[in-house]
Structure 1
């Protein structure tokens, strides 16, 4: 039997507790979880791609190991389905926080199904505690000196404090 490979794409700028929750669930579905950091030249992230990869490896490695899955973290700058195929993934992991996410993700899943019928989108719902967490809000709160410790893993909090100062 071939290995089940799942591809979990995102910007992960920064990785949040919501991302960890999705990765934990995805690792239980797959033998190998590949986390793909999307790199888009038009965007100006607070953390560059190597920094995000480092944080993801630090935070997700024990999560994947606990589930018995291998973990790889890669970057991509093309279509998600092309990146998933390159990694041999047949599962495309998407987290859902609310109905707005569902509407958007359903459209993307439909388009991806046409582009790559061999790659199945899997939606993983957020727990009630993770639903309000977005990387955008974490960035904004951290940049304004707010406390984001409830929203990000400790290793990410350290990096945010280094980037923005003590208040985070």
Structure 2
């Protein structure tokens, strides 16, 4: 069985994230969406709320699981028996950062990283921008997957 984790803060989970998961499901048997807990990051939604929103979104997809985790992503991958880490890439800067982390994860644990480039029409969508729009009371529904409920 090919199992991957798709790690991130997902504050919130955007149409870009949704696209990466949809595409990864074409070659993975199971994907665990891992919501990393990073106390130094200021988030809009509490961790439990992010887990709940993503679980609801994938309620009818048994190959998707959603969990929060604390610590190194590679340790989380190993603890779940994942052979792969899925990452989305929007820019060259993302690529350079992810390449370095992928090399370390492979050396530490033999876990491979699969990079999926963002679909061109989604390169401007980021959780940071969506959070800023939320902060100013703007409608963000165009940037969220259909069915994603933000309260």
Question: How far did 1:127 drift?
Answer: 0.5
Aligned-partner Cα distance in 2 for 1:14–1:6: 21
Q: 2:32 aligns to what?
A: 34
Question: How far did 1:95 drift?
Answer: 0.4
Which residue of 67, 79, 84 corresponds with 1:86? Answer: 79
Q: 1:131 aligns to what?
A: 123
Aligned-residue Cα RMSD (Å) equals 1.4
Structure 2 residues without counterparts, runs of 5 or longer: none
Aligned-partner Cα distance in 1 for 2:136–2:97: 29
| 1:121-165 deviation per Cα after TM superposition (whole angstroms, max 9, x unaligned) | 000111111111100010001111223221112443x41xx3xxx
Structure 1 residues without counterparts, runs of 5 or longer: 163-168
SS of match in other structure, 1:124: strand
More deviation, 9-18/36-45: 36-45
* Higher RCO (CA 8 Å, separation ≥ 6 residues): 2
Aligned-partner Cα distance in 2 for 1:37–1:92: 13
The 4+ residue runs of structure 1 with deviation greater than 4 A are: none
Look at both structures and tell me which one has the larger radius of gyration over its CA atoms: 1
Question: How far did 1:106 drift?
Answer: 0.8
Larger relative helix fraction: 1
- Measured at CA, do residues 135 and 77 of structure 1 come closer, stay the same or move farther in structure 2, by a change above 3 Å? same
